[in-house]
């Protein structure tokens, strides 16, 4: 299993009604896009978030988060959230909304 399908479906339900929504397979999992910009995704059992460098550093102070190091080198604008950090619907919504805010601040690519 490349990514947790149940988590992907939970994220999809929160994202699919947003204008500019699309999906793309990336990073060995699935990414959810807004206007062509990567917003969030799922790899294995981890929630992947694009928050921007400043917001990612702040988010890393929260429990159950870690730097995204997909290539072996940390990506400063992205983080992983482990299962305990997104288990509740409220927590998942919180994290998705943080990523959506950042993605909406970027110029559209599509």
Q: How far apart are CA 105 and CA 85, in angstroms?
A: 24
Using the predicted structure, report yes or no on whether residue 1 has a pLDDT greater than 80: no
- The per-residue pLDDT for range 32-91, each reduced to its tens digit, is 999 999 999 999 999 999 999 999 999 999 999 999 987 788 899 999 999 999 999 999
Q: How far apart are CA 71 and CA 83, in angstroms?
A: 21
């Amino acid at each position: 299993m490349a990514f947790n399908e149940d988590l992907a479906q939970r994220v999809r339900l929160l994202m699919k009604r947003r204008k500019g929504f699309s999906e793309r397979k990336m990073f060995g999992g699935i990414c959810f896009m807004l206007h062509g910009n990567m917003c969030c995704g799922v790899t294995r059992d981890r929630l992947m978030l694009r928050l921007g460098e400043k917001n990612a550093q702040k988010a890393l102070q929260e429990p159950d988060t870690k730097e995204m190091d997909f290539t072996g080198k940390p990506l400063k604008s992205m983080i992983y959230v482990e299962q305990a950090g997104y288990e509740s619907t409220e927590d998942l919504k919180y994290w998705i909304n943080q990523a959506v805010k950042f993605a909406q601040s970027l110029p559209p690519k599509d």
